[in-house]
């Protein structure tokens, strides 16, 4: 699968997706750490892709998104922005509202026991 197709598929399959350096439990840069903190404070599950483990995505996503830096938050197929925008939206209460509304529209699949 071409990298661009992989990116499109990830964005399509995950209503809330954060491209970041590291993981939510172990972010590998300060900007990713701040973005994750804001996202986790919203109280909803979100998907993430560690670009350090995916050098092809790290190379291609800035071209695809027309956004040069990481982290990148994508919500329902739309690029929201990077760390500064995420934090600004969080401080204004916009991020919490957006994430809650999207989580309601896309309930997590029930786990089968």
Instruction: Give me the half-sphere count of Cα atoms (radius 13 Å) on the Cβ side of residue 105.
Output: 11
42 is in an annotated binding site: no
84 is in an annotated binding site: yes
User: Could you tell me if 7 and 64 are in contact, meaning their C-beta atoms sit under 8 angstroms apart?
Assistant: yes
105 is in an annotated binding site: no
Q: How is residue 61 annotated by DSSP?
A: H
58 is in an annotated binding site: yes
Closest CA to 106 of 30, 61, 44, 48: 44
Please give the annotated binding residues, written as ranges. 21, 29, 58, 70, 83-84
Please give the annotated binding residues for glutathione, written as ranges. 21, 58, 70, 83-84
Please give the annotated binding residues for [2Fe-2S] cluster, written as ranges. 29
């Amino acid at each position: 699968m071409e990298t661009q197709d992989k990116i499109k598929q990830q964005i399509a399959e995950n209503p809330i997706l954060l491209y970041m350096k590291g993981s939510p439990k172990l972010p590998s840069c300060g900007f990713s750490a701040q973005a994750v903190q804001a996202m986790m404070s919203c109280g909803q599950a979100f998907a993430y892709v560690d670009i350090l483990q995916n050098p092809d995505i790290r190379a291609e996503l800035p071209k695809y998104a027309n956004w040069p830096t990481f982290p990148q938050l994508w919500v329902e197929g739309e690029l929201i922005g990077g760390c500064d925008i995420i934090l600004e939206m969080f401080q204004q209460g916009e991020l919490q509202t957006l994430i809650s509304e999207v989580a309601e529209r896309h309930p997590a699949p029930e786990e089968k026991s």
